[in-house]
Amino acid sequence: LLVPFRERFEELLAFVPYMHRFLSKKRIRHHIFILNQVDHFRFNRASLINVGFLESGNDTDYIAMHDVDLLPLNEHLDYSFPEAGPFHVASPELHPLYHYKTYVGGILLLTKQHYELCNGMSNRFWGWGREDDEFYRRIKGAGLQVRRPSGITTGYETFQHLHDPAWRKRDQKRIAAQKQEQFKVDREGGLNNVRYRIESRTELSVAGAPCTVLNILLDCDTDETPWCTFG
């Protein structure tokens, strides 16, 4: 599990033990990586997932891109090896908020081979949103088909969404050229050019559930993406 993260510790305290129990009950071997962005740039979910992929080691054969504020409530949800192609666990028919047909955010499983085939995610998305819409285009461009759960009858009650927008505001500002850039496909960047440094790597136990916290310093070319800062 690759979990992009910044300053949401109360959600982390709920997420790690819950997902460890959920996956252990399903007998799925797993390792939870908390990808903690500790630089002073705006939040970059996609770059954090790229870093997590590169740092996750050779003993894993697939990844789950997993939001920290989304907990699966239905034990019939499939988290197994997505051999046939990307498997979108948090499908539009089940996600409590996002219901458009090209949505692939929230929880998405991919083999490592398929993630590399897409060259990972674009590093150009600073601030909240749109990076998963661009990744959908990468998936299609790589000739892959997104699969989704079937036979799940719990509808929009399939997940618990921990996010409270009343007290945790998302960084949804669009600055200067970012307004036009957010709808473009990034044909150059991704896994091949993510720039970062690991400040520290810590093995933690949260209520008995193990995880690895990577404190990540992302780097930004302010000529290329000046919207990575507010200043």
Structure tokens belonging to residue 230: 């507010």
Catalogue the E-assigned strands of 16-148: 33-37, 62-66, 70-72, 87-88, 107-111
Phi, psi at 111, each rounded to 5°: -65, 155
Is a pLDDT exceeding 90 seen at residue 114?
yes
Is a pLDDT exceeding 60 seen at residue 186?
yes
pTM of the model: 0.91
> In terms of residue numbers, what domain contains 18?
2-228
Q: 176 to each of 172, 218, 227, how far by Cα in Å?
A: 13, 21, 7
**What per-residue confidence (pLDDT) applies to 171?**
54
CATH number for the domain that contains residue 224: 3.90.550.10
Q: How far apart are CA 60 and CA 52, in angstroms?
A: 12
Q: Provide the number of structural domains found in the chain.
A: 1
pLDDT in tens, 191-216: 999 999 999 999 999 999 999 999 99
User: DSSP code of 181?
Assistant: H
Catalogue the E-assigned strands of the chain: 2-5, 33-37, 62-66, 70-72, 87-88, 107-111, 159-161, 196-206, 209-218
Structure tokens belonging to residue 14: 């709920």
**What per-residue confidence (pLDDT) applies to 187?**
76
**Side-chain half-sphere exposure of 147, counting CA atoms within 13 A:** 16
